[in-house]
Amino acid sequence: MKFKLSFLLLNLVVLSVCAQNLKSAGDRYFFQYKYEQAVKEYEKESKETVLTTQQFLNYAEAYFNTKQFKKAWQTYEMILESDAIVTPFHYNKMLRSLYAISGKDEMNKYLENDTILKEASWAENAKFNFDIENKKDVVLPNYTIFNIKGNSIAADFSPSFYKDKLLFTSDRVLTLAKKKKKKEERIYLDIYESEIEDDGDITNVKPYNSIPKANFHEATPYYSAELDKLFYVLSNEKNGEMLYDEKGKNALSIAEVDRNNRFNFILKHLSTSFYYPFYDANSQRLYFAANFEDSSYGGTDIYYVNTSNGQIMSAPINLGPRVNTPGNEISPFVFENGLYFSSDVFYGYGGMDIYKSNLKADGSAGVPINLGKGINSAKDDFGFIVKNNTTGGLEGYFSSNRDGGKGKDDIYGFTVAEKPKLNTIVLQGKTLNPLTNIRIGNVAIKVLDQNNKVIKELESAEDGSYEIEVPWQEKITIIASKKKYSLFRQFYTAEELKNKKQTPIYLDFADDFVVEKEGKSMLKLNKFIFKTKSSKLTPDIIKELDKAITIIKKFPEFNLQIESHTDSKGGSSSNFRISQARADNIKKYLLNNGIPSKNILYTIGYGEDHVLNKCVNGVYCIDYFHAENRRCNIVVLNYKELY
């Protein structure tokens, strides 16, 4: 089996000392990455003694790493059935084993009863990627991929643009020497440079000599044109000797070399290795991969430090569970507000797959989207770099140990004629009261696709902020609701949302449109009256009824009663008739303008039965007081029941 030089950057040296102190032969082989021998030894030891939980986990992982997925799955299941703790890191391998032997559908069924993936974003990421994979109208970019001529039989990986050249990592010299001598010698990584030909292939490969020469690993370079500095990783050493921590572990550090060949360690720790540096000039973040035991979500995670022109200004910050998973994440690269990286999370195609997350204005990352088959294979695909070409498309390189290569890991070039379309729709904003602009928290939000199928449900935060990311749709509908607030329903096309930075959601507060009067809950309207002895709607009345229509459409749950009142002038029977006619005409106008009949339960003409003052028959009143009694109300019968 091939060592994954590219994946963990030859941490073979890391445990070479402490492994000697392990009593179990299975453990020793396991920590030396000799998984086939570890499987055999653990099998023997399990018949002779009781393995510890950690040894069983090692046993299962050794099965996994030798592609014995059925046995890996069975061993992990046995561990779970014993009520032992299975960390998300091992659970990821367990799920990948199930995926390998039974397929995606069986894995998804198993996930329905999941209790181990504590981060909701992991299951959401999986569903998101599976949904995109299943969408029939998704058009994947037509990548042209080629194996570069400069690859060797050794491991060649981690390409990086360097002015008009290409840098990469390889163990080619020592691999060839070892093959000739046929001796067990330690293989160390070095950085190489090459010319880039017009067709993207490389030529004139030679060691890169613009950094201080080291005796051990030098790998995964990244050149920042803005800083004119080279970042790379190297083994912790002093005076030509490796440095070890108290457990006998040698780790990898990140260093920089400037234009004057001045060398400086920038991230160094005796017990923690740092991998794959990348400097983003726009955000001034230095990204890297590492496994900090106190903050890692699984294996190796992607972190960043804030800098000021490359000078570190913060402690390492984990990118969070949206990007980092129970598996391993490596090789970050930022291009045009997209974070590219590789992960061996359970919902990929095989080993390490390349993903892209949209970077938001606040620097956080969106849902990682698999770049799809072609760029990704059933093996490890990583070290993705990309830039614009001269024809409006893209070109770049990545590394892979896919079938058909020349060595353990090869560098592949690619071109794509047109830039890929966005593969997600992102909406973010706040839920607000439009009258006061006050934020509304805990609003239920649904996203519907063009077939009115719910594809996303969430709640806005306490401060009213929300963020939605869904697979690309040509059309979506947003529905938002909260008790005692109006229903928000808005249709959007993808083109409308393409450059929309903020999408506020406005919900009206019911109390702003309802008033308590005469012991009843009524729509808050300006007073309107009919002309004497008339039931004809005037422009002033229509103006208020149009307001009522707007309110009722905002709150379709309202059950209404339309009431009309007269003063005590005239005969009682004629007052009843005219008030009923007025109530009926109000109802007719509402129905003709889109209000469903189910909303209007009653129309009542009270005549002069409910005057508001003492101006009844036989009592003299000036017209000012009679006018108080002439009124029409739209009562919300179920307001208190609703809220």
Structure tokens at 65: 């790493």
pLDDT-based confidence at residue 19 (cuts at 50, 70, 90): very low
Exposure string (b/e) for 501-525, b if CB count within 10 Å is 16 or more?
Answer: eebebbbbbbeebbeeeeeebbbbb
pLDDT at position 22 is: 59
User: How much is the pLDDT for 5?
Assistant: 41
Write out pLDDT tens, residues 426-469: 888 999 999 999 999 999 999 999 889 998 999 999 999 998 88
Q: Please give the average per-residue pLDDT across 12-38, as a whole number.
A: 71
For strand 600-607 and strand 560-565, is the pairing parallel, antiparallel, or unpaired? parallel
pLDDT of residue 386: 96
Q: How far is CA 114 from CA 69, 85, 453, in A?
A: 20, 14, 25
Distant-in-sequence, close-in-space partners of 590: CB < 8 Å, separation ≥ 6: 545, 548, 549, 552, 600
Query: Whole-angstrom Cα distance, residue 620 to residue 424?
Result: 73
SS3 56: helix
Query: From residue 45, how far is each of 26, 39, 73, 446 by CA, in Å?
Result: 8, 10, 20, 55
Residue 186's pLDDT is 61
Q: Which domains does the chain have, with CATH numbers?
A: 5-116 (1.25.40), 144-416 (2.115.10.20), 424-509 (2.60.40.10), 513-642 (3.30.1330.60)
pLDDT for position 424: 81
| CA dist list (Å): 267 to 220, 288, 329, 451 | 14, 10, 18, 51
Average pLDDT, the chain: 90
Residue 226, token pair as written in the block? 């803005």
Specify the range with the lowest mean pLDDT, choosing from 12-26, 91-105, 229-243, 278-292: 12-26
Q: What confidence score (pLDDT) does residue 303 get?
A: 98
Number of Cβ within 10 Å of residue 628's Cβ equals 15
Query: 581 pLDDT exceeds 60?
Result: yes
**CB under 8 Å to 18, separation ≥6 — which residues?**
31, 247, 248, 249
Out of 79-83, 429-433, 529-533, the most confident range is 429-433
Reply yes or no on whether the pLDDT at 603 is more than 80.
Answer: yes
Q: Which pLDDT belongs to residue 4?
A: 44
Inform me whether the pLDDT recorded for 201 exceeds 70: yes
What is the per-residue pLDDT for 13? 40
CA distance between the termini of the chain? 67
- Written as one letter, the residue type at 557 is E
Q: How confident is the model at residue 139 (pLDDT cuts 50, 70, 90)?
A: low
Closest CA to 518 of 401, 636, 353: 636
- Per mean pLDDT, which range of 59-63, 242-246, 375-379 is the poorest? 242-246
Residue 187's pLDDT band (cuts 50, 70, 90): confident
Give pLDDT tens digits for 331-374: 999 999 899 999 999 999 888 999 999 898 888 998 999 998 89
Asked if 375 and 381 touch (Cβ cutoff 8 Å), the reply is yes
Contacts of 436 (CB under 8 A, 6+ apart): none
Q: How many CB atoms lie within 10 A of CB 484?
A: 14
Q: How sure is the predictor about 23, in pLDDT bands with cuts at 50, 70 and 90?
A: low
Q: Which of 21-35, 145-159, 178-192, 369-383 has the lowest mean pLDDT?
A: 178-192
Q: Could you read off the pLDDT of 503-526 as tens digits, one per residue? A: 999 999 999 999 999 999 999 999
Q: Average pLDDT for residues 259-265, to the nearest whole number?
A: 93
Cβ atoms of 159 and 166 within 8 Å: the answer is yes
Distance in angstroms (rounded) separating the CA atoms of residues 541 and 561:
17
pLDDT of residue 135: 73
pLDDT of residue 421 exceeding 70, the answer is: no
Segment 551-556 long-range contacts (CB within 8 Å, at least 24 positions apart): 551/513, 551/523, 551/524, 552/523, 552/590, 552/595, 552/599, 553/594, 553/595, 554/486, 554/487, 554/508, 554/513, 555/486, 555/487, 555/510, 555/513, 556/487, 556/596, 556/599
pTM of the model: 0.80
At CB < 8 A and 24+ separation, what contacts does 476-479 make?
476/425, 476/447, 476/448, 476/449, 476/450, 477/447, 477/448, 477/452, 478/427, 478/445, 478/446, 478/447, 478/448, 478/503, 478/505, 479/445, 479/446, 479/448
Q: 420 or 37: which carries more pLDDT confidence? A: 37
pLDDT at residue 7, as a whole number: 44
Q: What is the reported pLDDT for 498?
A: 73
Whether 492 and 153 have beta carbons less than 8 Å apart is answered as no
Which pLDDT score, from 0 to 100, does residue 218 have?
95
CA-CA distance, 73 to 69, in Å (whole number)?
6
* Parallel/antiparallel/unpaired status of strands 394-400 and 454-459: unpaired
Looking at 488-642, which runs of residues are DSSP E strands? 488-493, 505-506, 514-517, 520-523, 560-565, 600-607, 631-636
pLDDT one-digit tens code per residue, 122-132: 888 988 888 88
Minimal CA–CA distance to 191: which of 238, 159, 164, 224? 159
**Of residues 495 and 189, which shows the higher confidence score?**
189
Task: Determine what percent of the chain is predicted with pLDDT higher than 70.
Answer: 93
The 8-class DSSP code of residue 544 comes to H
Q: Which helix (H) or strand (E) holds 428?
A: strand 424-432
Q: Residue 174: pLDDT above 60?
A: no
Minimum mean pLDDT range among 30-44, 133-147, 459-473, 620-634: 133-147
